[in-house]
Amino acid sequence: MLLRGRPCPTVGSHMSRRSLKCRGQAVNTKITGTWQKDMSRSTSMDAVANLVGLSGLVKEGIKLIRGCEIAVDGSTFRMGVFSVVPIVKINESYPLDGKEASNMRRDLRFGTCRGALALRDDGTPLLRLRWDEPYRGEGLDEFRLVGQDELHVVSSVTVGGRTVSYTSVHTRKA
Protein backbone atom coordinates (compact mmCIF):
# COMPACT_ATOMS: atom_id res chain seq x y z
CA MET A 1 0.00 0.00 0.00
CA LEU A 2 1.31 3.41 -0.95
CA LEU A 3 1.08 5.02 2.49
CA ARG A 4 2.99 2.20 4.19
CA GLY A 5 6.32 3.67 3.06
CA ARG A 6 8.28 5.03 5.96
CA PRO A 7 11.40 7.12 6.31
CA CYS A 8 14.55 5.10 6.44
CA PRO A 9 16.21 5.47 9.86
CA THR A 10 19.79 6.60 10.35
CA VAL A 11 22.31 4.59 8.40
CA GLY A 12 24.86 2.86 10.58
CA SER A 13 27.78 0.47 10.34
CA HIS A 14 25.37 -2.46 10.01
CA MET A 15 24.98 -1.82 6.26
CA SER A 16 26.07 -4.59 3.93
CA ARG A 17 27.50 -4.00 0.48
CA ARG A 18 24.89 -5.95 -1.50
CA SER A 19 21.80 -4.96 0.45
CA LEU A 20 22.05 -1.54 2.04
CA LYS A 21 20.10 -1.64 5.27
CA CYS A 22 18.67 1.03 7.46
CA ARG A 23 17.95 -0.52 10.87
CA GLY A 24 16.55 -3.67 9.33
CA GLN A 25 14.86 -2.09 6.31
CA ALA A 26 16.83 -3.00 3.20
CA VAL A 27 17.02 -0.79 0.13
CA ASN A 28 16.25 -3.09 -2.77
CA THR A 29 19.47 -2.77 -4.79
CA LYS A 30 17.80 -4.42 -7.81
CA ILE A 31 16.46 -0.93 -8.49
CA THR A 32 19.94 0.35 -9.35
CA GLY A 33 21.19 0.72 -12.90
CA THR A 34 20.27 2.46 -16.12
CA TRP A 35 16.64 2.28 -17.18
CA GLN A 36 15.35 3.10 -20.68
CA LYS A 37 11.89 4.67 -20.85
CA ASP A 38 9.36 2.73 -22.93
CA MET A 39 7.49 5.62 -24.51
CA SER A 40 4.76 3.39 -25.99
CA ARG A 41 3.77 1.95 -22.58
CA SER A 42 4.24 5.09 -20.49
CA THR A 43 1.42 7.48 -19.68
CA SER A 44 1.60 10.93 -21.25
CA MET A 45 2.95 13.67 -18.98
CA ASP A 46 0.82 16.35 -20.72
CA ALA A 47 -1.74 16.56 -17.88
CA VAL A 48 0.94 17.20 -15.24
CA ALA A 49 2.68 19.71 -17.54
CA ASN A 50 -0.61 21.61 -17.82
CA LEU A 51 -1.22 21.37 -14.06
CA VAL A 52 2.09 23.10 -13.28
CA GLY A 53 1.71 25.62 -16.11
CA LEU A 54 4.68 24.60 -18.25
CA SER A 55 5.39 26.53 -21.42
CA GLY A 56 5.25 24.87 -24.84
CA LEU A 57 9.03 24.65 -25.10
CA VAL A 58 9.41 22.89 -21.75
CA LYS A 59 6.47 20.59 -22.61
CA GLU A 60 8.29 19.57 -25.77
CA GLY A 61 11.46 19.00 -23.74
CA ILE A 62 9.61 16.53 -21.51
CA LYS A 63 8.91 14.42 -24.59
CA LEU A 64 12.68 14.03 -25.03
CA ILE A 65 13.13 12.18 -21.70
CA ARG A 66 14.52 8.74 -22.43
CA GLY A 67 15.21 7.16 -19.07
CA CYS A 68 16.81 7.29 -15.66
CA GLU A 69 19.89 6.13 -13.81
CA ILE A 70 19.55 5.01 -10.20
CA ALA A 71 22.38 4.42 -7.74
CA VAL A 72 22.55 3.72 -4.02
CA ASP A 73 25.76 4.09 -2.03
CA GLY A 74 26.54 3.99 1.67
CA SER A 75 24.48 7.06 2.52
CA THR A 76 22.60 8.31 -0.55
CA PHE A 77 19.93 7.39 -3.09
CA ARG A 78 20.74 9.08 -6.42
CA MET A 79 18.52 9.43 -9.44
CA GLY A 80 19.32 11.05 -12.76
CA VAL A 81 16.80 11.58 -15.54
CA PHE A 82 18.31 11.81 -19.02
CA SER A 83 17.02 12.85 -22.43
CA VAL A 84 18.06 12.72 -26.08
CA VAL A 85 19.64 16.15 -25.54
CA PRO A 86 22.70 15.46 -23.34
CA ILE A 87 22.59 18.82 -21.56
CA VAL A 88 18.98 18.22 -20.43
CA LYS A 89 19.47 16.07 -17.35
CA ILE A 90 18.03 16.26 -13.87
CA ASN A 91 20.11 14.85 -11.00
CA GLU A 92 18.70 14.35 -7.53
CA SER A 93 20.18 12.97 -4.30
CA TYR A 94 18.37 11.91 -1.14
CA PRO A 95 19.97 10.72 2.11
CA LEU A 96 19.12 7.17 3.14
CA ASP A 97 18.32 8.38 6.66
CA GLY A 98 15.05 9.89 5.40
CA LYS A 99 16.08 13.49 6.04
CA GLU A 100 14.85 16.10 3.61
CA ALA A 101 17.14 17.17 0.77
CA SER A 102 16.97 20.14 -1.61
CA ASN A 103 17.28 19.58 -5.33
CA MET A 104 16.61 21.58 -8.46
CA ARG A 105 12.95 21.95 -9.40
CA ARG A 106 11.91 19.37 -11.97
CA ASP A 107 9.95 21.99 -13.90
CA LEU A 108 13.27 23.85 -14.35
CA ARG A 109 11.95 26.97 -12.62
CA PHE A 110 14.06 28.88 -10.10
CA GLY A 111 13.89 27.63 -6.54
CA THR A 112 14.23 24.22 -5.01
CA CYS A 113 12.25 21.07 -4.66
CA ARG A 114 12.55 19.51 -1.21
CA GLY A 115 12.11 15.80 -0.87
CA ALA A 116 12.69 12.81 1.34
CA LEU A 117 13.22 9.13 0.70
CA ALA A 118 11.00 6.49 2.26
CA LEU A 119 10.95 2.76 1.59
CA ARG A 120 8.08 0.41 0.84
CA ASP A 121 8.02 -2.96 2.59
CA ASP A 122 9.84 -4.53 -0.38
CA GLY A 123 12.66 -1.96 -0.12
CA THR A 124 11.70 0.01 -3.23
CA PRO A 125 11.82 3.80 -2.91
CA LEU A 126 9.14 6.40 -2.43
CA LEU A 127 10.13 10.00 -2.97
CA ARG A 128 7.92 12.58 -1.24
CA LEU A 129 8.43 16.02 -2.78
CA ARG A 130 7.28 19.61 -2.19
CA TRP A 131 8.03 22.98 -3.74
CA ASP A 132 6.96 26.62 -3.36
CA GLU A 133 5.46 29.15 -5.76
CA PRO A 134 5.05 29.45 -8.60
CA TYR A 135 2.66 26.49 -8.70
CA ARG A 136 3.28 25.45 -5.09
CA GLY A 137 2.66 21.76 -4.77
CA GLU A 138 3.72 18.34 -3.73
CA GLY A 139 4.52 15.08 -5.40
CA LEU A 140 5.06 11.41 -4.78
CA ASP A 141 7.16 9.08 -6.92
CA GLU A 142 6.62 5.38 -6.24
CA PHE A 143 9.15 2.99 -7.76
CA ARG A 144 7.91 -0.55 -8.48
CA LEU A 145 9.96 -3.40 -9.87
CA VAL A 146 7.98 -5.59 -12.26
CA GLY A 147 10.23 -8.58 -12.69
CA GLN A 148 14.00 -8.17 -12.84
CA ASP A 149 14.20 -5.93 -15.90
CA GLU A 150 11.15 -3.68 -15.72
CA LEU A 151 10.60 -0.62 -13.54
CA HIS A 152 7.40 1.40 -13.20
CA VAL A 153 7.56 4.87 -11.66
CA VAL A 154 4.10 6.04 -10.63
CA SER A 155 4.18 9.81 -10.09
CA SER A 156 1.43 11.91 -8.54
CA VAL A 157 1.56 15.71 -8.51
CA THR A 158 -0.81 17.94 -6.53
CA VAL A 159 -1.15 21.67 -7.20
CA GLY A 160 -4.01 23.85 -5.97
CA GLY A 161 -5.92 20.86 -4.60
CA ARG A 162 -5.90 19.03 -7.96
CA THR A 163 -3.91 15.80 -8.37
CA VAL A 164 -2.65 14.30 -11.62
CA SER A 165 -0.84 10.95 -11.90
CA TYR A 166 1.15 9.28 -14.63
CA THR A 167 3.24 6.13 -14.99
CA SER A 168 6.65 5.87 -16.62
CA VAL A 169 7.53 2.34 -17.72
CA HIS A 170 11.25 1.52 -18.01
CA THR A 171 13.27 -1.51 -19.06
CA ARG A 172 16.76 -2.24 -17.85
CA LYS A 173 19.38 -1.03 -20.30
CA ALA A 174 21.99 -3.68 -21.02
pLDDT in tens, 53-104: 998 888 888 889 999 999 999 899 999 999 998 777 899 999 999 999 999 9
The fraction of the chain above a pLDDT of 90, given in percent, is: 75
- Is 16 inside a domain boundary? no
In this predicted model, which residue has the larger pLDDT, 102 or 15?
A: 102
- Is 2 inside a domain boundary? no
- Indicate which CATH number applies to the domain containing 147: 2.40.128.20
Number of domains forming the structure of the chain: 1
pLDDT in tens, 24-41: 477 899 999 999 999 999
Residue 132, pLDDT score: 97
- Is 25 inside a domain boundary? no
Instruction: Look at residue 125 and tell me whether its pLDDT is greater than 50.
Output: yes
Q: Is 135 exposed, middle or buried (0-12, 13-18, 19+ CB in 10 A)?
A: middle
What is the band of 22 on the pLDDT scale with cuts at 50, 70, 90? low
Q: Is 157 exposed, middle or buried (0-12, 13-18, 19+ CB in 10 A)?
A: buried
The fraction of the chain above a pLDDT of 70, given in percent, is: 86
